[in-house]
């Protein structure tokens, strides 16, 4: 089972359907707690926590040192700021729970591509934090664009169509404050997770299953995977998904003209139930 | 082999406006940060932005960033 659901679902089907995890009191309470729970921009993206020492340890295959550093970084990230991949269907349900929702500029694409603000409104913030964003646009670069729930559903659906993966992010776990729309290699969370094996981004509650009877080998789905889980089997002339590597975003499934890819509950596979 | 990537911030004045190196890198190694860190309720001056080889383990040594930089601010060595 998903550890976040075990801790924070509060009787709901998934932890991110529990309205308590979007509650204003969680946002405010942090000021009274220890420094480890304060919003920490250094943790954002997980990148600033990884120094040259980590990469050098990886490079020389010092597994012990890597495991220690990975553990420390993950513990901090999971306490303060981490994400989980969520299907479009689930994100649309989340949009029904929380208000306000606003588009804001993506910090990852700004730092990796220098994307100008006007082209960079791919991040979505939720809840009371957005009023702060609105008040000090110079700090948050580009400000915010508040959306009605219908506009938010439309925006997230368009970004999904465009090939961006939907993820939910905590800001002081379990407070959920952001819907990110991510892609490899410019999303810091995907990259840190996929390239370094640091679980900054958790896999979602589904996995994508290819029905080989229905797949006609058109390869329309191939470009959609941002997690190196989807490839093309030349010997079978079919899409091939590594189910242990699949993050369950659903982008491949929504692109398939044959409806040959189905999103299946992760926990329905005994061997995948604990692969997050 | 891991490279050392250095960017001379004195030569590179406004990377957010230039971003030639960020866009040319085939493996998206370079990234942009702010020298001063995040500043509450204040805009960061563009010349406080700096380029760094944040994903240096993916650097192939192609030297395209070195060649594209109009200020010759980037050095890559192995």
Residues A189 and A262 in one domain: no
A34 touches B at CB < 8 Å = no
Strands annotated E in A41-197: 83-85, 101-104, 123-126, 144-147, 165-170, 176-182
Mutate to test the interface with A, among B12, B18, B32 (most CBs of A within 10 A): B32
Residues A217 and A154 in one domain: no
Q: Can you tell me the distance from the alpha carbon of A231 to that of A221, in angstroms, rounded to the nearest whole number? A: 9
Are A182 and A259 within one domain?
A: no
Among the three residues A144, A173, A202, which one is the final residue of a domain in this structure? A202
Mean pLDDT of B60-78: 97
State the pLDDT at residue A32: 62
- Structural domains of chain A, count: 2
Nearest C-alpha in B relative to A184:
B28
The CATH number of residue A213's host domain is 3.30.70.20
Helix axis angle for A52-59 and A188-196, nearest 10°, is: 30
Interchain contact B63–A (C-beta under 8 A): no
Please give the backbone phi and psi of residue A120, each rounded to the nearest 5 degrees, phi first: -120, 20
Where residue A220 falls among pLDDT bands split at 50, 70, 90? very high
**Residue A19 belongs to what domain range?**
3-48+80-202
Instruction: Tell me which of A186 and B46 has the higher pLDDT.
Output: A186
Assess whether A111 and A27 both reside in one domain.
Answer: yes
- For residue A142, pLDDT over 60 is answered with yes
Of the candidates A42, A250, A20, the residue with the CA atom closest to the CA atom of residue B34: A42
Q: Is B66 an 8 Å CB contact of chain A?
A: no
Comparing A64 with A23, which gets the higher pLDDT?
A64
Residues A168 and A214 in one domain: no
- Two structure tokens written together for B71: 């200020």
Say if A59 falls within a structural domain: no
Contact: A138, B43; criterion CB under 8 Å: yes
Q: Among residues A62, A107, A83, A113, which one has the least CA distance to residue A15?
A: A83
More confident residue, A42 or A10: A10
A129 pLDDT band (50/70/90 cuts)? Answer: confident
> Is residue A191 domain-resident?
yes
Task: Delimit the domains of chain B by residue range.
Answer: 4-77
Residue A38: per-residue pLDDT:
57
Asked if A143 and A170 sit in the same domain, the reply is yes
- Whether chain B has a CB inside 8 Å of the CB on A195: the answer is yes
Arch. (CATH architecture) of B4-77:
2-Layer Sandwich (3.30)
Note the pLDDT tens digit of each residue in A146-180: 999 999 999 999 999 999 999 999 988 999 999 99
* Residue A276 belongs to a domain: no
A238 and A197 within one domain: no
| Per-residue model confidence as pLDDT tens digits over B27-57 | 999 999 887 766 666 777 888 889 999 999 9
Do A222 and A180 sit in the same domain of this protein? no
ipTM for the whole complex = 0.91
- CB contact at 8 A, A158 and A182: no
* A63 belongs to a structural domain: no
Q: Please indicate, yes or no, if residue A69 is contained in any of the structural domains.
A: no
Same domain, A104 and A144: yes
Residue finishing a domain among A172, A202, A232 = A202
In a domain, A40, yes or no: yes
């Amino acid at each position: 089972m998903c550890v976040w659901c075990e801790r924070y679902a509060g009787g709901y089907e998934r932890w991110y359907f529990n309205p308590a995890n979007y509650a204003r009191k969680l946002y405010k309470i942090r000021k009274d707690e220890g420094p480890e729970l304060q919003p920490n921009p250094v943790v954002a993206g997980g990148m600033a926590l990884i120094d040259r020492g980590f990469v050098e340890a990886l490079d020389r295959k010092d597994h012990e040192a890597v495991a220690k550093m990975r553990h420390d970084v993950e513990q901090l990230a999971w306490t303060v700021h981490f994400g989980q991949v969520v299907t479009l269907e689930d994100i649309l349900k989340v949009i029904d729970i929380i208000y306000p929702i606003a588009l804001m500029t993506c910090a990852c694409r700004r730092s990796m591509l220098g994307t100008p603000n006007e082209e960079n409104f791919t991040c979505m913030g939720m809840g009371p934090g957005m009023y702060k964003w609105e008040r000090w646009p110079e700090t948050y670069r580009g400000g915010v664009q508040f959306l009605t729930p219908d506009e938010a559903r439309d925006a997230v659906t368009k970004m999904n169509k465009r090939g961006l993966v939907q993820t939910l992010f905590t800001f002081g776990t379990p407070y959920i404050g952001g819907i990110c729309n991510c892609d490899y290699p410019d999303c810091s969370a995907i990259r840190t997770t996929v390239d370094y094996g640091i679980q900054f981004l958790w896999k979602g509650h589904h996995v994508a299953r290819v029905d080989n009877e229905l797949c006609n080998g058109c390869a329309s789905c191939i470009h959609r995977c941002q997690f190196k889980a989807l490839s093309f089997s030349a010997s079978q002339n079919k899409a091939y998904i590594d189910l242990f590597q699949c993050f369950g975003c659903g982008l491949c499934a929504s692109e398939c003209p044959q409806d040959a890819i189905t999103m299946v509950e992760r926990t329905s596979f005994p061997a995948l139930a604990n692969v997050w | 082999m891991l490279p050392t990537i250095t960017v001379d911030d004195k030569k590179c004045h406004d990377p957010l406006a230039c971003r030639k190196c960020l866009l040319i890198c085939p493996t998206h190694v370079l990234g942009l940060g702010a020298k001063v860190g995040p500043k509450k309720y204040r805009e960061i001056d563009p010349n406080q932005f700096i380029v760094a080889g944040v994903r240096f383990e993916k650097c192939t040594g192609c030297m395209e960033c070195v060649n594209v930089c109009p200020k010759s601010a980037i050095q890559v060595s192995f």
